[in-house]
Amino acid sequence: MMFAHNFDSAKLANIMKDITLSLTREVSQSYHSHLDILAVIGACYTVRKGLNLLTGCFSFIKHQVFSRLFSNTNTILKYGEWAVVTGGSDGIGKAYAEELASHGVNIILLGRSIEKLQAVSESISASYGVKTRFIVADLSKGPEVFPSIKEGLKDVDVGILVNNAGVLNDYPACFTEIPEEKSLEIINVNIAAAVMMVHIVLPGMLQRKRGAIINVGSATCANPVPMVAVYASSKAFLDSFTRALQYEYASQGIFIQSLIPFFVVTKMVGYAEVLTKKNLLVLGPKEYAHGAVRTIGVSQRTAGHWSHCMQMSIFFRMPEYLWVRMWMYINRKCRTDYLSKAQHCKEK
């Protein structure tokens, strides 16, 4: 009995040893197999990032270098003799109109102030020797203004439409702090007016089989932006709307561009003192328009100026939670500074 017990113990020990060795070999093989899989995944990820970098570099060179080397007056004029610029009496709109006029394009300005429109119209005509017109229209009023705009443009060969008119909060604030009227104004100008202006000019462009539509959006279209929620959402709509139109009409000779600027020194961002001073990141309207016009016919979705394109390549790849935290910091600071300044002025 003792012999049998010793035999069974020895046999059991050998079996356990064999099982252990077998498991060790399988684990070792599996480990190396998993390492191979991870190596392949890592290689694919590295290649993907490398291709993205190369694509980004090529895109930057194409849109910002080639556009400067080969953009000329003929490129702009091929779309037609007249350009319509909404919000053209100030800021980016005015600078964009002047830049187009420098290429020999006749200009029609849309805005709400007859005095400003007349002054800018006369200035452009005198400076660049082109024909100019203007249409007084308050785009915040909604549908009632568009029949008169359509009538004013019915006999015009509109080659370029620049949907530049835009409305922003008076200062960054949470949604319930913004008056209903302001939210409706943002929607009417940033969304409804842009859509209706395309309705007015696009049929004529399709008949002539040429034309360019530039919808001026904002970098806030990339992700949610707290404290300017309605404005940022309206620009996200405009970006999506523009890109959809590209797919619909690019094959019919119509160039449609989503222009996505970052900060430009205009009255719209006058609530923030830091945004009223030009630097490498915050551009003046003329500087921005000079670069943006050269992307017409080149890039369907662009930040316009090389400085803003660099910002776009960085910030549009930012994780959403970092993007939101960045904007929360910026907008809270701007809100605090604005209210503090307003209170100081009130006390005086």
Determine if residue 297 is left, alpha or beta; phi over 0 gives left, psi from -120 to 50 gives alpha, anything else beta.
left
Phi, psi of 109 (to 5 degrees): -100, 140
How remote is the C-alpha of 220 from its chain's centroid? Answer: 7
| CB-CB contact of 282 with 275 (8 Å) | yes
Task: Print the SS3 string covering 62-76.
Answer: HHHHHHHHHCCHHHH
CA distance 227 to 231: 9
How remote is the C-alpha of 141 from its chain's centroid? Answer: 25
| CB-CB contact of 267 with 171 (8 Å) | no
Catalytic residue among 231, 249, 288, 338: 231
247 is catalytic: no
Q: Transcribe 163-194 into DSSP letters.
A: E------SS---GGGS-HHHHHHHHIIIIIIH
Phi, psi of 163 (to 5 degrees): -80, 85
**Torsion 185-191-195-198 (CA) sign:** positive
Q: Per the structure block, which two tokens stand in for 172? A: 């960054």
| CB-CB contact of 306 with 64 (8 Å) | yes
The residues annotated with a catalytic role in the active site are 231
